[in-house]
Structure 1
Amino acid sequence: MAASIGIMDSAYFVGRNEILTWINDRLHLNLSRVEEAASGAVQCQMLDMTFPGVVPMHKVNFDAKNEYDMIQNYKVLQDVFNKLKVTKPLEINRLVKGRPLDNLEFLQWLKRYCDSINGGIMNENYNPVERRSKGGRERSVKGSNKMPKSLQTNDNHPPSNSSSVGLTKATVTETKLFSSALQLTDLKLSYDLLGKERDFYFSKLRDVELLCQTPEIEDLPVVVAVKKILYATDANESALEDAQEYLNLSLGVEVEDEGNGEQEEEEEEKTQA
């Protein structure tokens, strides 16, 4: 199943919010960005839930912050892939960089893969919090739920009225900036996905064009008709009718005149009368 999930599969059109909801609901986490899963720990635990006993959770470091520790998690994940005979390559050097698109694409694949096992039904007996804490040392994934410094207050020294006004303005400003950043990220992801779809269909058209340029067949009527469609320059009109007309003439297919058709119908009606 894993090997058949191609780049144009519907799995890769699942949105960032749906992926985060899927992770947070299943593993009882509070991730707000897909790049927070860049350490590989989340992926390991998703497979631990899907295939109980396959993942050595004591080797998974949920506190991994540097690339070295993250790579160790991906080594665990690669071992699990080998056990499950999953052939999907792990692009570890890209994933540990924490780039949103790379991590989103991998999580989209992972969701599709996990959903293909037992119909995606969750293991109700699985306790994700307990499993994370059973690895020899206490571990936790908190996600990026820390408030910006400008939003934090000191309980021992409540802010004055003037500072409260400044705090409110800062809060509004940061909220707007954060919302804008999320919108830009979503737009970039949509743009990248649309670009991949465009490149996919363009490559297909290019293959058709190269085939039509084969010397042995390029003068065949059907090939010429296809090239009429490929090379049509009028974006407002379809070239299909022109190509079909050329093909009919080339193959000697006679198109009945509408007037003759009507005359024949009248003669048939008179005969029947």
Structure 2
Amino acid sequence: MVVNVFISAVTTDTLSRKEAVAWVNNLLKSHFTKVEEMASGAAYCQLTHLLFANSINLRKVKFNPRSEPDILTNWKVLTTAWKDLGIDKPVDVEKMKKAKFQDNMEFLQWFYKFFNANLVGDAEDYDAVGARFNEDLPALKGSSGARPAVAAVRPTAAPVAKPKAVAPAAAPNAAAKASVAPTVRNGTRPAPATSAGTRRSEPSQNEELLKQEIEKQKSLATDWETMAKEMESEREFYYSMLQRVEGLVHEAEELKSTTIDVEALKAVLYQSNEEGEHEVEATENGADSSQLRDALQANLDDTDTF
């Protein structure tokens, strides 16, 4: 018997973004790095297979879809199985397949609660990798593709080596010249030819340029990584703020009140970011206040589907 659950964006068992990804990876022995990757629907198919044995034929699931039709196939397989099981959760596939963070995060929060409400036995006994036929989820980048190219070059290398066998014939002449050169002055060998010296200096210059380019790219990568972390932190901060405001709204609804505690609302709106990198500006900045109000209203509208 399926236990259907309903969830708002604010609950006591809400997971953070990192906790949600870690939870999925632990159950499926996968290596997701962000919530948006759940948009393919493949992970939900296997989690349903884990929860309700033989409820889904995993051979129909595209664990690493290459196109939008593959993604739609995964969601169709999932929703069909859910209908047969009696799960009445509506799924907005058009929103999910766009891989937007908020849509996928809210859906994953719901599924986390649904999973815990219906889990029977120990999930650790489930062979996740074997169940999906030893396929990586998602596929590791750069894990294959270079080996065939190397194998293709080797057969052509053997014929080329045969003409080189003639090269030793020229060696006696070079050896004769070399045997005369050492007796030029005081029985010592002369300095190497200038061409050799030039060849040695060129690699050192190239190495220096390569090192400079590597350092430049490392610096750029560090800047981008820092910028990405700051943006991620800010997004999490404002999303958390919306959740707390929504909590105040739900609290007012439960008390059947038509007003919200102004002081409590101000405490949420003016609270600083946990990492101390971003702070909410005062309400005299009209443009920022207007954007915040629009974001709050949009978030409240989205909760109607849950």
Q: State the TM-score, normalizing by the size of structure 1.
A: 0.63
Q: Structure 2 residue aligned with 1:140, among 116, 136, 140?
A: 136
Query: Match for 1:173: what amino acid?
Result: D
Separation in structure 2 between the aligned mates of residue 45 and residue 232 of structure 1, nearest angstrom: 44
Q: CA–CA distance in 1 between the matches of 2:220 and 2:4?
A: 49
Aligned to 2:113: 112
Please point out which of 249, 259, 284 is paired with 1:199: 249
Partner of 2:129: 129
Aligned amino acid, residue 127 of structure 1:
D
Structure-to-structure mapping, 1:1-273, within 5 angstroms = 2-7=3-8, 10=11, 13-118=14-119, 121-124=122-125, 126-133=126-133, 139-142=135-138, 160-204=210-254, 207-209=256-258
Aligned partners of 1:38 and 1:97 also within 8 Å: yes
Aligned equivalent of 1:247: none
> Percent identity over the alignment?
21
Once the 2 structures are TM-superposed, how far is the Cα of residue 128 of structure 1 from its aligned partner? 1.4
Matched to 1:108, the amino acid is: Q
Q: Which residue of 1 aligns with 2:180?
A: none
Q: 1:144 to 1:179 in 2, by over 3 A?
A: farther
Q: RMSD value over aligned CA atoms?
A: 3.1
**Secondary structure in 1 matching 2:123:** coil
**Residue 2 of structure 1, CA deviation:** 4.7
* Cα deviations by residue, 1:75-130 (Å, 9 ceiling, x for unpaired): 11111111221111111111111111111111111111111224573151x22122
3-state SS, counterpart of residue 182 of structure 1: helix
Q: 1:28, 1:232 → 2: CA distance? A: 45
After TM superposition, give the deviation of residue 198 of structure 1 in Å: 3.0
Aligned length: 199
TM-score (norm 2): 0.57
Deviations 1:3-41 (A, max 9, x none): 342316626622111111111111111111101010110
Distance (whole Å) between structure 2 residues aligned to residue 12 and residue 160 of structure 1:
51
Offset of residue 184 of structure 1: 2.4
* AA in 2 matched with 1:71: L
Mapped to 1, the partners of 2:139 and 2:90 lie a distance apart of 26
Q: Structure 1, residues 140-192: CA drift from partner, whole Å, max 9, x if none? A: 3236878xxxxxxxxxx987221232122122212212211321231233133
Counterpart amino acid of residue 18 in structure 1: E
The 1:122/1:171 distance shift into structure 2, 3 A limit, reads: same
Work out which of the two has the higher radius of gyration on C-alpha atoms and give 1 or 2.
Answer: 2
